[in-house]
Amino acid sequence: MVKNSFIFLVLIGLAAILLNLFAGFNGSTELGTIAAHYASKGIEEVGSANLVTSVVVSYRGLDTLGEVTILFLSAAIIGFFLKVDNTDNKNRQLKYTSEILNTASQVLVPIMLLFGAYVFINGHLSPGGGFQGGAIIASGLVLMFIAQPKKEMGHKMINIVESVSGVSFVLLGVAGILFASGFLDNKILSLGKFGTLFSAGIIPIIYILVGLKVGSELTGIALSLKENQNEA
Amino acid sequence: MVGPIYIIAIALGTAFSLGFFKNANRNISFSLMFLAMAFLTFISGQWLYAFLTQQQETIQIFTAGFKPPFSISLQMGFHEAVFLTMINSLGLLSAIYLFDHLREKGVNMMMVFMLLFMGLNVVVMTRDIFNLFVFLEISSIALVGLIILEKKQDAISSGFKYLIASGVISGILLIGIVATYYYSGSLYINDLISANLSLVKGGSVAVFLIMIAVILELKPFPANGWALDVYQSVNAGIGPIISGGIATASLFILYKLLPIGGDAWLLPIGITGVISFLGSNFLGIKQKSSNRILAYSSISQVGLLMIIMSLSTSLGDKFEFVFFSVLISQYLAKAGLFWIAGIINKDEIDDWNILKKSPGLIVLVGIFMFTLLGLPPFPAFYGKWELIMNLSQSGNFVWVGIILLGSLFEAIYLLRWFGKILIKQDNLEDLKIKFHKLIPVIFVSFAILLFSYLTAKWSGLIGIKYYIPFIIALLIFAFDFLPVFIKNIAAISTVAWYSYVLIYQTYIPENDILRIVFGSIFLIGAIIMLIPGFTFKGKRQGFYPLVILMFSGLAGLIEARTTFQFFFAWEIMTLASYLLIIRGKNAVKPSFNYILFSMAGAFTMFAGFGLAFAETGSISLNALADVLVYANWAYALIAIGFLVKIAAFGVHIWLPSSYAEADDDVTSMISAILIKSGVFGLIILMLSMSLKNAVSPNIPYVLGWIGAIGALIGNMMAIYQEDVKKLIAYSSIGIMGYILFALSMMSHMGWLTAFTYSIVHFLYKGLLFLAIAGVIYRTQTRNIYEMGGLIKRMPLSFISVLIGIITLAGMPPLAGFAGKWMFYNAVIMKGWYLQGAIVFFSGIVAFLYCFKLIHNIFLGPLKDNHRKLKEASIWWLIPQFILIIGIMVISVYPKIVVEPIGQYLSMYFPNDGLVWDGTTASTRLGYWDATKIMTVFAGMFGVLFIILYSMSRKTQLVEQFNIVFQGERPERPETTHYAHNMYAPYNKALGFLTAPFITSAWKFVYESIHSISDQVRKFYTGNGQTYAMHIIIYVVVFYLFINGGF
Amino acid sequence: MENITLQNISLAIGILVILIGLWGLLTQKNLIKIVIGFALFDTGIHIVMVSIGYIKNRTAPIIDSAVDMNNASNLVVDPIPQALVLTAIVIGLGITALMLSYVLKMYQKKKSLDITNYKDLKW
């Protein structure tokens, strides 16, 4: 109890610091110079209708590469950490899944996969993008595991998708150095007609790769956790 | 050149494509990763090379085809190149080291490994603060993966602690970053620097959050329990990655972001560093796990680097030198030690003596530890020197004290560990060493040697001449497979050549009597004391390089012209003598005492030199004379260093057992020669400082008392010793007491006495130790009561000891009397009657142990098991007779030595000198003619000898063994021997004087430090939550400290 | 009362969630709850980030029929914090997933979810 009140006091101290941090906060009224540049020049420079996408994939593309790497890392670590011997898998006792879940998943999973693909393909035009799309795809696959626990799904396919999309992402970045003005430069493809699917340079391609990569990584993580269940 | 951006492309591309090889041969995937790592190293190395040689300009690399601040940019400059080369080459070596682990654990871990280094590279290069955050997260997540390289229970739970702690820290960083964005509208670091956020309300808090998060990434004491647990639990191959890779990169982040905080942050960072340095080293002394010790040491070194960083402005153009010399030494040495820990695979340092099986590794451990401790000739020494000088100059004396105290704590745990390696033990397990684990270790040790050379050159503090001894030592080390005989000849001729150059060619023409006298003691003494080496059989590996280093250190003292050179030589000599002593059979503990006292003494000396520099701004030894304001402090601090070396009363407890346990010829070297380095130092110090009025006369007065008490206690202790080497050792304490007393009189006669005593002590102490060593070598015991009656078996040794003790006791006609006569004169002229009486009394005490030496060893009945003993080996006898000749010459013609010294001293003390008239020396108190006395003595001796010899014809010879024991046989027969506990009655009367209260006092200090350390470290509860709590408390307290309130 | 704007409310909520998350992280003994505490802490930070980028009466930074291309900089909210929060969410997801897998492994080894049982190394 004494300990908790001490923690409480320290957190009050931290709260005071945070309040001071935002003492000068009164809500922005104007965009900063950089943000304004993105808003006014973004279309001209990057060609993506979704400004967030142009920031994420193009202006701050290196961050996105890092972000993808983090997911990749987590998946690799969890895959290593939770690896189970194949022999154990055979003796697993699995719970019965309900008919409703089973049937519904058969309808939902394809739609979810499709929707995920839609979200990342259209990331430069509408809200969404590779991460969101990938997450939706992964959710679809997770739903499939839950509905059909007996269905084996190897890591092999996942790994290949992961690697191919990751390597392609890096290669696209290098292509930027070779064919345009810098790593991850968007302009190796023409920006195309604004607002159409095939526009905004390599953004759609990158988002497709990211979508595949995120989808496979999240699925991989979920798969590792699932395989580990019987050991618990 | 290959652009830095390819570092990212290649590392990421490799990591991603490793996924294709999941089921393929792991050798292929490892080779791929290794090649990528090598390429990273190549890229950073070529940039470093370009910066060093071609005056390459710093370049900016833009991504996404836009310029900053609109896109993320990277920067490659000289500092980036240095850090990247360090990080990537560490990665390459780690990959070699971890070869079998990575291969066994599979592709996933290789990816993780690769990405960790990729992350660190971007962290160093990026100029965008959010990008920095992302890649920092990559590195820390990758580390979380490497922690569980071996899925041990403690690794898993410490990995969880790490996740929580680093999660909280990165959360704080993230809040700071977004707030900074809000207040400045940019994420580009250059923009943030120019935005002057500290002036904006709220902006200063945002800066605070960023800075505190970066500081927390450096694992400052005490908010670092999580990091310590991680260090301890991980595979030893990961340790270097944390301490040399992540910590190095984190330091660079601090360096990069520091301008955002501005100069206001320098002091807080310095204070954080001081707390970290002192606290970690303090808690380190209670540790037993090697990895955890290294963890504490890493954190303390980071603290030191933070201190240096905080001084960047005042260090000016020396900043880079100091920073990199400390950083790179710690980086290399720590990696080497971690890797060796992994090779040994024993967590408890008590088990490290398994290394006995491979002496080569012990040498490497030594190199690494001395590098960490910043001992010369290793790089950090130069950096620490500049640091202390700078801190002193800017008046930060408290910091100097704290840094030196922390260094002493570090010395305690590292050197104790080193000692444990050398403890002898039978039935050691075999040490299996995988070759690929050895490669990186050897590589870093070479890197250290190379870097030592470069730093020395860069520092400009010492000339090329100072490398020669190291080159010779290395050469001898390379030829260590040769037999002792050849190496001994090589060593003797080296020293002989050098003494010719130094004394004959340099100082005799200059007529620098002080340096001639001590140079002769050091170097000609060295030749004499090396002769017994011929008796040793086999190879005596490692002995000769150390001997060369020790004597070169001594020669360096003579030659030193600056305080730096002096200190350099002093440390070399101390270190080499420590390593020589520790070679003795049971010398681990005594040598630990020796080195601890010596280090403490050296640190006070260091501080004293710092003070002198602070006032005069010069490191010339002559400039010591110009110190006025800090004179008393500087004088006292420097003197303490010398007092430790001469084992003055109070700091003498290291001496007896070190002397006793060292190898016999080593004992002769250190007791006859090495100990004079302290005398030499005191003379140098007093000549430059005491003669001025700046130093209070009270200090010499106190020194005089210390000397007098030392003389008494040393001699008192000597008479009770059963161990003959200890007996002579205690007598050294006594004689050094005389010399200190004589010096502190600050008069012509006093100094003349001190000089004469130094020479004479060198002669007879060498003589005694050599003679006794010869006896010990034959009898295989050091206990006096187990000897006796050896006069018939070892007559030549008897003569040596006889002459030795006559000289020691200061009896006419031998040279000791000359010293004593001058001494009496000096005391009476000075008027220090009370102290003088004590010294006179201790002279009488000396008779008791002299008698014990000659009587118990050589007279009386011979022991049964000694009936067939032979005379000592000729190699022990030759140096003895050289010394006897020396004693005789000085006894008959003291003038040849004393007169030039007197003339020299007249430059400093013009009054009350000796007046020479032919062979007669006189003072205003009386006169003395050594030659006449000798003639008279020889005549009387001849007459008495003839009378006694003729009388002996009439006596009946009694066989030595004609002694019959009667009655019951006692349990321990030797206790009934007359020589056992010989002076028990005196002990009853005066025993209180020899109660080991000084030893107890030091023991109390030592143990208190340990138990406090033990109590304090309990706040590291091992609970991840508590660690997270520490972090938040740290943040809040730091905030309060900086802002003085909320 | 003027201060109570949308940003301020969401900012305050964000800070509150941060503190609640930390409270959970520091006081709960159950490993899973600690992870949830961390996730809350992270989410709080994300809310703060988004609030910072918000500008009153403006719309999402997507150029479509609602936003005039030439006047975009006066019509949309700041896209940068949104981009940053996207990255931050993904990082948080990775860390949380790692934490959970650690918890899973810890539980498998010791059959306990109480953090006080995991003090293998200390001092």
Ranges A48-52, B713-717, B943-947: which has the least confidence? A48-52
- Chain A residue with minimum CA distance to B206: A21
B570 vs B501: CA distance, rounded Å: 21
Alpha carbons B1032 and B1011: distance in angstroms, whole number: 28
CB of A61 closer than 8 Å to CB of A202: no
Determine how β-strand B915-917 pairs with β-strand B59-62. Answer: unpaired
SS3 C67: coil
Q: What pLDDT was estimated at residue B450?
A: 93
- The answer to whether the Cβ–Cβ distance between C63 and A49 falls below 8 Å is yes
Nearest CA of chain A to the CA of C89: how many Å?
Answer: 9
- Residue scoring higher pLDDT (B119 or B68): B119
Place A232 in a pLDDT band, splitting at 50, 70 and 90: very low
Q: Tally B–C CB contacts below 8 A.
A: 114
Mean pLDDT of chain A: 84
Q: Do B62 and A182 touch (CB under 8 A)?
A: yes
Measured CA to CA, the distance from residue B1022 to residue B1025 in angstroms comes to 9
Instruction: Please report where in the chains the tokens 């430090």 appear, as a residue.
Output: B1009
pLDDT higher than threshold 80 for residue A96: no
Angle at B759 between CA B757 and CA B639, to 5 degrees: 65
Nearest to B138 among A28, A69, A177 (CB): A69
Contact residues on chain C for A43, CB-CB shorter than 8 A: 63, 69, 72
Would you call C87 and B1022 a contact, using CB atoms and an 8 Å cutoff?
no
At B642, the pLDDT band (50, 70, 90 cuts) reads: very high
Verify whether the Cβ–Cβ distance A59 to B200 is below 8 Å.
no
Give me the residue from C87, C105, C119 closest to B134, CB to CB.
C87
Task: Please give the pLDDT value at position B354.
Answer: 87
Chain B within 8 Å of A74 (Cβ-Cβ)? yes
The residue in chain B having the minimum alpha-carbon distance to the alpha carbon of residue A155 is B22
Residues 780-819 (B) with a CB less than 8 A from some CB of A? none
Alpha carbon of A225: minimum distance to chain B alpha carbons (Å): 16
Q: Which residues of chain C have pLDDT under 50?
A: 1
Asked whether residue A175 carries a pLDDT value surpassing 90, the answer given is: no
pLDDT, tens digit (0-9, with 9 covering 90-100), for B255-274: 999 999 888 899 999 999 99
The residues, any chain, with a CB within 8 Å of residue B662's CB and separated by 6 or more, are B580, B581, B583, B584, B587, B590, B591, B670
Q: At residue B300, does pLDDT exceed 90?
A: yes
Distance between CA atoms of B72 and B187, rounded to whole angstroms? Answer: 9
DSSP-derived secondary structure letter, B345: T
Confidence of residue A4 (pLDDT cuts 50, 70, 90): confident
**Three-state SS sequence of A21-90:** HCCCCCCECCCCHHHHHHHHHHHHHCCCCEHHHHHHHHHCHHHHHHHHHHHHHHHHHHHHHCCCCHHHHH
Look up tokens 């918000």; give the residue: C54
Q: Residue B813 — pLDDT band, cuts 50, 70, 90?
A: confident
Other C-beta atoms lying within 10 Å of the C-beta of residue B388 = 23
Say which residue, B339 or B460, is predicted with more confidence: B339
Identify the pLDDT of residue A186: 79
The neighbour count for residue B912, using CB atoms within 10 Å, is 17
Q: Minimal Cα–Cα distance from C39 to chain A, Å?
A: 16
Residue A206 sits in which domain range? 48-231
- Please tell me which of the candidates A30, A52, A82 has its beta carbon nearest to residue C79: A52
Encode pLDDT of B877-888 as tens digits: 999 999 999 999
Dihedral over alpha carbons B140, B141, B142, B148 (to 10 degrees): 110
Who among A63, A74, A170 is closest to B13 (CB)? A170
Task: Identify whether A34 is part of a domain.
Answer: no
Q: Do the Cβ atoms of C91 and B134 come within 8 Å?
A: yes
Q: What is the pLDDT of residue B639?
A: 94
- Per CB-CB distance under 8 Å, the chain C contacts of B1031 are none
Report the residue from C62, C79, C90 with minimal CB separation from A67: C90
Q: Which chains have at least 3 CB atom pairs separated by less than 8 Å from chain C?
A: A, B
Q: What is the pLDDT of residue A200?
A: 79
Does some domain include residue A162? yes
Residues of C whose CB is below 8 A from A4: 27
pLDDT digits 0-9 by tens, C39-48: 999 999 999 9
As a whole number of angstroms, the distance between CA B452 and CA B444 comes to 12
pLDDT above 70 covers a percentage of chain B that reads 98
Select from B671, B844, B860, B861 the least CA-distant residue to B771.
Answer: B671
**What is the pLDDT, as a whole number, of residue B953?**
65
Asked whether the predicted pLDDT for residue B958 surpasses 70, the reply is no
- Tell me, what's the pLDDT at B962? 55
Q: CA dist B163 to B304, B1020, C35, C91, Å?
A: 26, 17, 10, 13
Q: CB distance A56–C76 less than 8 Å?
A: no
- DSSP reduced 3-state for B460: coil
Euclidean distance between the first and final Cα of chain B, in Å? 52
Highest mean pLDDT among A15-29, A189-203, B181-195: B181-195
Closest CA of chain A from B246, distance in Å: 17
Tell me which residues of chain B have a C-beta less than 8 Å from any C-beta of chain C.
130, 134, 137, 141, 144, 148, 151, 153-154, 156-160, 163-164, 167-168, 170-171, 174-175, 177-179, 181-182, 187, 225, 228-229, 232-233, 286, 1017-1018, 1020-1025, 1028-1029, 1032
Q: What are the pLDDT digits (tens) for B594-639?
A: 999 999 999 999 999 999 999 999 999 888 888 888 899 999 999 9
Tokens in use for A170?
């890096």
A28 located within any domain: no
C2 touches chain B (CB under 8 A): no
* CA dist., res. C105 & res. B157, Å (int): 9
Distance of CA C4 to the CA centre of its chain: 22
Assess whether pLDDT exceeds 80 at residue A159.
yes
Domain boundaries in chain B?
A: 262-461, 462-696, 700-955
Closest-CA residue in chain C for A134? C90
Average pLDDT on B270-289 reads 93
Chain B partners within 8 Å of C55 (Cβ) = none
Cα distances (angstroms) measured from residue C53 to each of B6, B576, B859, C79? 34, 65, 99, 7
What's the confidence (pLDDT) of residue A56? Answer: 86
Chains with at least 3 CB pairs less than 8 angstroms from chain B: A, C
For residue B933, which amino acid is it? I
Residues 6 or more apart from B773 whose CB is under 8 A from it? Answer: B532, B664, B665, B667, B668, B876
Instruction: Give me Rg for the CA atoms of chain B.
Output: 32
Of C3, C15, C108, the CB nearest to A232: C108
Which residues between 23 and 82 in chain C have a beta carbon less than 8 angstroms from any beta carbon of chain B? 25-27, 31, 34, 38, 41-42, 45, 48-49, 52, 80-81
Chain C partners of A227 at a C-beta cutoff of 8 Å? none
Interface check for C111 against chain B (CB to CB < 8 A): the answer is: no
Q: Do A18 and C53 touch (CB under 8 A)?
A: no
Nearest to B141 among A14, A70, A156 (CB): A70
Over the stretch B303-342, which tens digit does the pLDDT of each residue have?
A: 999 999 999 888 888 899 999 999 999 999 999 999 999 9
Structure pTM? 0.92
Cα B676 from chain centre? 19
Let me know if residue A134 belongs to a domain.
yes
Question: Which domains does chain C possess?
Answer: 6-58+78-117 (1.10.287.3510)
Contact A11 B1032 (CB under 8 A): yes
For residue A71, give the chain B residue with the closest CA.
B138
A70 chain-C contacts, CB cut-off 8 A: 90-91, 94
Q: State the residue for tokens 């899925």.
A: B151
Average pLDDT, chain B: 89
pLDDT digits (tens, 9 = 90+) for B677-700: 999 999 999 988 877 777 888 898
Q: What is the pLDDT at residue B759?
A: 93
Does residue B116 sit in helix, strand or coil?
A: helix
A230 band by pLDDT with thresholds 50, 70 and 90: low
- Quick: pLDDT tens for B378-427: 999 999 999 999 999 988 899 999 999 999 999 999 999 999 998 887 77
Q: Which of C26, C27, C45 sits opposite B171 (nearest CB)?
A: C45
Count of domains observed in chain A:
1
Q: Which amino acid is at A9?
A: L
The answer to whether residues B647 and B726 touch, using CB atoms and an 8 Å cutoff, is no
Across the range B639-660, mean pLDDT stands at 92
Q: From CA C28, how far away is CA C115, in angstroms rounded? A: 9
Instruction: Out of C7, C63, C91, name the one closest to residue A51 (CB).
Output: C63
Examine the pLDDT at B848 and tell me if it is beyond 50.
Answer: yes
Cβ–Cβ contact A139 with C under 8 A: no
B920: helix, strand or coil: strand
| Token pair 């401790």: residue | B373
Instruction: Name the residue of chain A whose CA is nearest to B20's CA.
Output: A160
- Alpha carbon B627 to chain centroid, angstroms: 27
pLDDT in tens, B893-942: 888 888 899 999 988 888 888 888 888 888 888 888 888 888 888 888 88
DSSP B349: G
* CB pairs < 8 Å spanning A and C: 150
Of B818, B859, B521, B852, the C-alpha closest to B715 is B852
Examine residue A82 and state whether it is found in any structural domain, yes or no.
yes
Nearest chain C residue to B163 by CA distance is: C99
Residue A110: is the preceding peptide bond cis (ω within 30°)? no
Q: What percent of chain B has pLDDT over 90?
A: 52
Which pLDDT score is estimated for B404?
94
Radius of gyration of chain A (CA): 22
Both tokens of B137, joined, read 């997260």
Give the model confidence (pLDDT) of B981-1002 as tens digits.
778 778 777 777 777 788 889 8
Rg (C-alpha) for chain C, rounded Å, is: 20
Q: Quote the pLDDT of residue B966.
A: 44
Q: In whole angstroms, give the CA distance from residue C35 to residue C45.
A: 15
> Which has more confidence, B424 or B368?
B368
Neighbours of A232 (CB within 10 A): 9
Strand B915-917 and strand B73-76: the pairing is unpaired
Q: B776: how many CB neighbours lie within 10 A of its CB? A: 19
Please name the residue of chain C whose CA is at the shortest distance from the CA of residue A37: C73
Q: Among A25-39, B84-98, B264-278, B486-500, which stretch is predicted with the lowest mean pLDDT? A: A25-39
Q: What is the ipTM of this complex?
A: 0.96
B882 has a chain A CB within 8 A of its CB: no
Residues A133-136: contacts with CB under 8 Å, at least 24 apart = A133/A207, A133/A211, A133/A214, A133/A215, A134/A210, A134/A211, A134/A212, A134/A213, A134/A214, A134/A215, A134/A216, A134/A217, A134/A218, A135/A214, A135/A215, A135/A218, A136/A112, A136/A215
pLDDT at site B965: 46
Tell me whether residues B144 and C98 touch, CB distance under 8 A: yes
For A33, B672, B733, B755, the CA distances from B810, given in Å and listed in that order, are: 92, 17, 16, 15
Q: Does A29 touch chain B if contact means CB atoms closer than 8 Å?
A: no
Q: How confident is the model at residue B968 (pLDDT cuts 50, 70, 90)?
A: low
Locus of tokens 């990026």? B126
What integer pLDDT is reported at residue B591 of this predicted model? 93
What is the model's pLDDT at position C55? 83
